[in-house]
Structure 1
Amino acid sequence: MHQTLRAGAAALALAATALLPTTGAQAAPDRPADCPALTTADGWHGDNKARLERLIADHCRKKTPRGDKPLAIFDWDNTVIKNDVGDATFFWLLRHDRVRPPRNGDWTTTSRHLTPDAATALRNACPTGTRTLPTATDTRCADELLAVYATGATTAGATAFAGHDHRRMDPQYAWLAQLLHGWTPGQVRSFATAARAENLAAPQGATQRVGSSRVTGWIRHYDQQRDLLRALEDAGFAVWIVSASPEPVVDVWAEGIGIPASRAIGIRNTTEHGRLTSHLRGCGTVADGEDRMITYIDGKRCWINQEILGVHGPAAERVQPAHRRQVLAAGDSDTDVSFLRDATGLRLVVNRNKNELMCRAYDDADGRWIVNPMFIEPKQRKPDPYPCATTGYTAADGTPAPVRRADGSVVPDQRDTVYGAP
């Protein structure tokens, strides 16, 4: 049965891609006179630019059957920019004493997924009774916070988080949002604005000291992605950013390239008296304050369905009808797999050697995946095949498993074929 379905899917994919350009040298597609083209040619692999232009031309100035604009959704970190705005903000918080200690020194109140070992390590490393933690000068406290956030382990190597659904929640990502407790959204935006200015001004490759470590200290926009976002907006698409960084941080960065905060989704905290709490807003079957789903893998699908498509309750966790879904999606990580798979036109993947994502992109079961090297400091070829047939997929309980297509068949191991020059 799987072979029959696979053959049918291959035939459909062949028919669907027959109308698409097949080489980078092919002329740009015909388009309405007022339909924008991509102006940045360098950095696009093969026929990716032509295929994106064809998609824009096919949907330019058109409405969906429901009368809506065609939808394009982008991840942010390492998709639209090089490096990570959540990291940049966290490093800024530590360098400027902007993390508030938990009440009564109980670190488990900052995350229901924090392990007892991690809570003990943080309590022992960081002072209590202060308005904010002195992480600019207290190296021990800064190091413990950095280790738990960046590695998911304490400085002694103990596991820091447990008990979460690995398809809906990354507690490390969530913890940054939860550590913003006590600040107003406006204050967090000011922190993100300062971190943004520093990282854009720093030279490429710059580092900064946090605690006793040196960490990344620069960010750059990808010119190619800014050009694509501009063309989509000019062609009448509704362009959204969906990220697993805190929403006030995502808002600042999206607005920096002309996308309003109303079309940016990140991790959302609950609030009390106008200030952020350590609890998170829910989606689908997850209620506010349960802290079990963020904009991560299947959680991204839920938040897109809820906030963009207006689907609530259990239905928000399910794939929506094709005519309602995004035409274009772009991402760089396994975090983005579900909402990329939901895209009906093209799925643009920036290659960062992430197993499940690259397995699906290279398998290209329906002919709609396009892969591009990172536009700045692209990764070289991954020497070994992606382990698609064995461990490329991470199940909800965290165990590795084979990557499977929609029909249940296993994706064979895939070789890395789109990468940067050595």
Structure 2
Amino acid sequence: MNDKLRASAAAAALALAATGLLPAAAAEAGPAACPTLKTSDGWYGGNKARIDALIADHCHDEDGRKPLAVFDWDNTVVKNDVGDATFYWLLRNDRIRPPRAGDWSTTSRHLTPEAATALGEACPTGVRTLPTATDTDCADELLAVYGSGTTTGGKTAFTGYDHRRMEPQYAWLAQLLHGWTTRQVESFAAAARAENLAAPQGATQQVGTSRVTGWVRYYEQQRDLIGALQRAGFDVRIVSASPEPVVDVWAKGVGVDPSHTLGIRNTTDHGRLTSHLKGCGTVRDGEDTMITYIDGKRCWINQEVLGVRGPAAERVQPAARRQVFAAGDSDTDITFLRDATGLRLVLNRNKNELMCRAYDNGDGRWIVNPMFIEPKKPKPTPYPCATTGYTATDGTLQPVRRADGSVVPDQRDTVFQPTPSF
């Protein structure tokens, strides 16, 4: 609600009080105060004040449309990755089903023949679920393909995809959930969530022959922010490149209902997830070529939140329809952040394209904050914006360009937590 609307509402309240229809105390109080952030720790510079001002500008808007706020999830609302946490739990608890006839190429259209062969040699066939809790060869191969995009032998695991629409490693986790129901996947995610929240900060766990991250934490600052936005009348959404049933489980912890989350969606067959994915825009269900990743996040927001269908879902929508606020931490988030019309909150994880655009800050709407837990040290060299900061659709590295085509110059890292002095 802007100042003019507030003044008008207050005047109307005073007029009612004069007639005796409204208590004088209520008239003096005027409209309900807009919420502000309760947590100050962890916010850099004037970031908290700018967010409070944005909330005040849109608080209880009376135009009949809730202002939209969109958050990435992993390393934006929580520290660490809930998709990773779930994958590690699946491996430790023998919950991955082998593909039919042992043909690993059926798990992803982007899996290379070398990766399919390596998985076939490492993992048994003719079993209901893979014995990855004890079979370290199979666990190690799955972990390598998912985590590094290569086989344990160093061969490329995925190829032939649009790098602005698809990250096949992320998609593969959703595809490996084939054969389970959504409710079963939610139970797996809930078990992984309980373990990772209970584990001490910095904990690791054994998966195959590797030690991997074993803990996750909610950022209290983001829980506070999401709550303030909701109380102010914002429509708060989560868009993540983790499987949607996994995000649904975690998002409840910050008061976001599953109906307000977007993640990688599988197609289903007789109530069970398949290795194929739902489509968006020009991509049909089962084509498996777009997920909630970079430009795909824009498409899914437009399609599922704004109701835009077909090719138009892949395009920038009019400003009046787009999100007012957006928050992210990675190049994965760059497109939906750029679409935000009010503020764009960036948690600094030293990601090239994201930090190039945030520090360039051409319209003054980008705000950068160190991570709230274990913030990164300052990047010692400038971000290579003018040469290799942008990943093109074919995977080549190119200069980061502004909307007018001009090249963003290299940017220094300037927002980070200072080293404590003793």
Please state how far the C-alpha of 1:63 moved relative to its aligned partner.
4.3
Please state how far the C-alpha of 1:284 moved relative to its aligned partner.
0.1
Taking only aligned residues, the RMSD between alpha carbons, in angstroms, comes to 0.9
Aligned partner of 2:43: which letter?
W
Which whole-Å CA distance do the structure 2 matches of 1:366 and 1:256 have between them? 34
Pairing partner for 1:165 from 155, 158, 162: 162
Which whole-Å CA distance do the structure 1 matches of 2:313 and 2:62 have between them? 23
Aligned partner of 1:406: which letter?
A
Q: Does 1:253 align with 2:253?
A: no
Aligned partner of 1:48: which letter?
N
- TM-score, scaled relative to structure 2: 0.92
Report the counterpart of residue 56 of structure 1 in structure 2.
55
Please state how far the C-alpha of 1:256 moved relative to its aligned partner.
2.1
Q: Deviations over 1:383-415 (max 9, x none)?
A: 000000000000000000000000100000000
Question: Match of 2:273, SS?
Answer: strand
* Corresponding pairs, count: 390
Which whole-Å CA distance do the structure 2 matches of 1:87 and 1:274 have between them? 25
Which whole-Å CA distance do the structure 2 matches of 1:194 and 1:258 have between them? 19
Please state how far the C-alpha of 1:312 moved relative to its aligned partner.
0.4
Question: Match of 1:311, SS?
Answer: coil
Report the counterpart of residue 330 of structure 2 in structure 1.
333
Which whole-Å CA distance do the structure 1 matches of 2:410 and 2:58 have between them? 35
Pairing partner for 2:190 from 169, 190, 193: 193
Aligned partner of 2:157: which letter?
A
Aligned partner of 1:240: which letter?
R
Please state how far the C-alpha of 1:420 moved relative to its aligned partner.
2.5
Aligned partner of 2:124: which letter?
P
Q: What pairs up with 1:98-247 in 2 under 5 angstroms? A: 98-247=95-244
CA contact (8 A) 1:32 1:57 kept: no
Q: Deviations over 1:80-114 (max 9, x none)?
A: 00000000000000000000000000000000000
Aligned partner of 2:53: which letter?
R
Aligned partner of 1:38: which letter?
L
Which whole-Å CA distance do the structure 2 matches of 1:421 and 1:125 have between them? 47
Report the counterpart of residue 38 of structure 1 in structure 2.
37
Report the counterpart of residue 92 of structure 2 in structure 1.
95
- TM-score, scaled relative to structure 1: 0.92
Please state how far the C-alpha of 1:421 moved relative to its aligned partner.
2.9
Q: Deviations over 1:30-56 (max 9, x none)?
A: x96431110100100000000000000
Please state how far the C-alpha of 1:299 moved relative to its aligned partner.
0.2
CA contact (8 A) 1:392 1:400 kept: yes
Pairing partner for 1:355 from 352, 356, 363: 352
Aligned partner of 2:58: which letter?
H
Aligned partner of 2:33: which letter?
D
Which whole-Å CA distance do the structure 2 matches of 1:348 and 1:272 have between them? 39
Which whole-Å CA distance do the structure 2 matches of 1:93 and 1:69 have between them? 39
CA contact (8 A) 1:101 1:132 kept: yes
Q: Does 1:80 align with 2:77?
A: yes
Which whole-Å CA distance do the structure 1 matches of 2:244 and 2:32 have between them? 37
Give the greater-gyration-radius structure (CA).
2
CA contact (8 A) 1:63 1:70 kept: no
Q: Deviations over 1:157-207 (max 9, x none)?
A: 000000000000000000000000000000000000000000000000000
Which whole-Å CA distance do the structure 1 matches of 2:81 and 2:36 have between them? 28
Q: Does 1:318 align with 2:318?
A: no
Aligned partner of 1:61: which letter?
H
Which whole-Å CA distance do the structure 1 matches of 2:369 and 2:298 have between them? 23
Aligned partner of 1:51: which letter?
R
Q: Deviations over 1:196-226 (max 9, x none)?
A: 0000000000000000000000000111111
Question: Match of 1:256, SS?
Answer: helix
Please state how far the C-alpha of 1:332 moved relative to its aligned partner.
0.1
Structure 2: stretches of 5+ with no match in the other structure: 1-29
Question: Match of 2:161, SS?
Answer: coil
Pairing partner for 1:421 from 400, 411, 418: 418
Aligned partner of 2:180: which letter?
W
Aligned partner of 2:154: which letter?
G
Runs of 4+ in structure 1 deviating by more than 2 angstroms, as ranges, are: 31-34
Please state how far the C-alpha of 1:419 moved relative to its aligned partner.
1.2
Report the counterpart of residue 274 of structure 1 in structure 2.
271
**Identical residues among aligned pairs (%):** 79
Q: Which moved more, 1:251-260 or 1:328-337?
A: 251-260
CA contact (8 A) 2:386 2:410 kept: yes
Structure 1: stretches of 5+ with no match in the other structure: 1-30
Which whole-Å CA distance do the structure 1 matches of 2:54 and 2:343 have between them? 8
Which whole-Å CA distance do the structure 2 matches of 1:256 and 1:348 have between them? 21
Report the counterpart of residue 290 of structure 1 in structure 2.
287
Aligned partner of 1:303: which letter?
W
Please state how far the C-alpha of 1:120 moved relative to its aligned partner.
0.4
Which whole-Å CA distance do the structure 2 matches of 1:47 and 1:281 have between them? 41
Which whole-Å CA distance do the structure 2 matches of 1:420 and 1:156 have between them? 39
